[in-house]
Structure 1
Amino acid sequence: MKISNHLIGALRTPSANLAKDVISAVWEAALDKHVLGKVPVVSVVLAVRDGAAAISDRLLAAKVARFLSGVDDLPASERARTVDELAGTETKRERLGELLLDKLDRADPLHKPQMLAKLFVAVGRRQIAASDFDRLSDMVINVFLGDLRDLAYRGDIEDVAESRRFALQASGFLAWEVDDVYAGGGATLKWSITTDGNTILTHCPPGEG
């Protein structure tokens, strides 16, 4: 079974100790690869090839564990419902697993897996539409974390350097409109946080440091 299927299976698992078990598996596996077959949920974070479990990327495994730790805030029944709302059919669930793994693979090691988990939880609590998850999660992955922290904690867009405002615009967090046009040419811009940007800052703000 593909690791993407294991990941979706873990999200649907009725276990109160999902995060604890997965994180323990990651750390034990990092110390001793022979322990892999003894950990029940180890297939969630490991690629399985030809019947032999191996860690192809321990960093990715740790990212998956952090994501699962964050979504463990949702009861198993709500996690399963969220998966169904995001995917639905078995074929689409496999695709969802592949998309989640790709996003986690591209995420920074610490903060963005936690942010993606908070987005998933927000969908589960019906605070964010399931149809928005893919777009919002891509925004989280693509934004430079330092820029997002500046936007979140400085309190005023004008406090964010102009060059970084354009970077935040490129990742979907800011928008601008012409404010004043000078007679001799040139203009000043009026910046605002987009609806999607506000949604992300509300439900999964970046961690500090």
Structure 2
Amino acid sequence: MTLTLSAQDLFRTAYESRYTWDAQFPGYHADLTLQQGEECYQGQVQISRDLSVMVQGFEDPTVQESIQHQLRDIVTHRQRRSFEQAHSKNQFRFGETDDSGAQAILVQGDAMGSHYKIRGSEICQVSRVMGPMAFTIDTQECLQTEQGYLPIQYHAIFRDAQSQALRGQRHFQDRYENLNGYYLPVYQKIEAIDSAGQTIVTEFIYTNLELLGD
């Protein structure tokens, strides 16, 4: 007998197959070098056991704030939340299957109007609206870990939520290191392309990573 997965079952499997930090995650700290063109900034970062973030040592407050946002993004994607916590109020239905075989999953009840595409047991596309901005993130490559998959190459397109005018694009390349069973970021390259086609490349280089003690 062949069992047919519902849209919710398919999405749930992909959601629960992501790599996240477990409840015993101790936190970590690292040195960070941020390179953008000819400019270079250095300081220290920390994500604590409670997933709070700390950034220090960067002389430029704008750079320091940007790094804080980047660390909070890391926490958002690595924080473990059950499917019920994240999606219990949502309803899922199938959309179309694209030429690559990715299955669209349409969502009702999500405050940001999220929609997804699933390929195999991985979420390969996320589309959302946040205020005046709509964005779509497509994942091209994932790192397969013992605890789940980690996107390491992905592309984001940003548009005006009303007019759909292109506002910019970003291409990401990430690398991770397994430190005592926890995968931590050691490198991220972001190629940001604005609506005029100008490109800015930013690199985050993490060194001297160390898990926090009790």
TM above 0.5, yes or no, is no
The structure with the larger Rg is: 1
TM value normalised by structure 1: 0.24
